A = this chain, B = another copy of it.
């Protein structure tokens, strides 16, 4: 084993753990609120937002997966569950025999329109209200830069 491991300094360890902790707590609370108040999961919410903003409320399957950065398998399973609950329907694609559209239903629109304002309010109350504009810019800058590096990491 390589004995020259560069372990994290206490500051690094603290920052890293705090960051993970922040996300877990925040996302957990937001998800539970969304579920309790609006009866949709965060994943449902993401799909419905994407569809409701699309022309005719419809999107190709893998296009949706690409936008949300989900694996196609996850998308397939999740759409199956959403179909079962009546939030979306599948529609065959005339141009491509393999493909399919996912289309938001009226029930889906009602869900998202009821959930969105509450969700936005929660994001403000639980997060944005406690962060200064300068801090938010720093956070965004860090996030963009690191994600860019990760993209480069995964590409090859």
Measured CB to CB, the residues of A under 8 A from B are 1-2, 5-8, 11-12, 14-16, 18-27, 29, 69, 113-114, 116-117, 120-121, 123-124, 126-128, 130-131, 133, 135-147, 149-150, 153-154
Contact between B127 and A16 (Cβ–Cβ < 8 Å)? yes
**Among B22, B136, B146, B147, contact of A143 (Cβ-Cβ < 8 Å):** B22
With both chains docked as a complex, state the minimum distance between the C-beta of A73 and any C-beta of chain B, in angstroms: 14
Contact between A20 and B27 (Cβ–Cβ < 8 Å)? yes
**A8→B24 CA distance, assembly (Å):** 22
**A137→B121 CA distance, assembly (Å):** 28
Residues of B within 8 A of A146 (CB): 22, 26, 126-127, 130-131
Residues of B within 8 A of A131 (CB): 142, 145-146
**Among B6, B8, B20, B120, contact of A7 (Cβ-Cβ < 8 Å):** B120
* 13 further A-B pairs in the complex, CB-CB below 8 A; given A18-B139, A139-B142: A1-B113, A1-B114, A5-B117, A11-B137, A15-B137, A18-B140, A18-B144, A19-B23, A21-B69, A22-B143, A25-B69, A25-B147, A139-B139
Residues of B within 8 A of A19 (CB): 23, 139-140, 143
**Among B23, B26, B135, B149, contact of A138 (Cβ-Cβ < 8 Å):** B135
Contact between B139 and A15 (Cβ–Cβ < 8 Å)? yes
CB within 8 Å for A22 and B126 given contacts A117-B5, A136-B12: no
